[in-house]
Structure 1
């Protein structure tokens, strides 16, 4: 998983080729922390199919809002700088995997 910041977000996500999954999370978000090991495992299993990134929104609130992230956890899928899939608030790792397979 690539750790995103406001400094590298554009290069790693918006200018990237192919499918990019971004996990927006926060250290005070219990559902985020509970799902994180499964998200990392999914990323490891599918590393050759897509790029996987995570963004701690604590110090990047404006960036998160600019991407229409209004609640956590949120996972967005990007292709050619555009959002092509979204999972927000109440979803399971199975939902993430299904969306990933749908978009690959």
Structure 2
């Protein structure tokens, strides 16, 4: 996956992009109508640039991709799942400060 930018994942390419991916991948489960989702979007964009080459950030629209959302039990958004070499290692529910998200990233690198 390309680094330094945010990639879109869907029900159809989730396994290929995330489960079979290598390294640390953050998946942001979001929706257009979600205010807190819009609040953390610029934070994730900044992290994608700051942590380029170290992490991959992916976004999954829950309204358009209900299978992946159900598979991981997403009940509230935004939810960010951290996957390391295809295994879920962390979960953040709700909008968090950039420093808090970055701390969690550092813990899993």
TM range (shorter): over 0.9
Residue 60 of structure 1: which of 44, 65, 76 is its match?
65
Secondary structure (helix, strand or coil) at the match of 2:89 reads strand
Structure 2 spans left out of the alignment, 5+ residues: 1-5
CA-to-aligned-CA distance 1:35-86 (integer Å, 9 cap, x gap): 1011111111112101111111111122112012111011110012211011
How many residues are treated as equivalent by the alignment?
Answer: 104
Residue 11 of structure 2: which of 6, 20, 24 is its match?
6
Relative to its length, the structure with more helix (as a share) is 1
> TM-score w.r.t. structure 1 length?
0.93
> TM-score w.r.t. structure 2 length?
0.89
| 2:33 is equivalent to residue 28 of structure 1 | yes
What CA RMSD, in Å, does the superposition of the two structures yield over aligned residues?
A: 1.1
Structure 1 spans left out of the alignment, 5+ residues: none
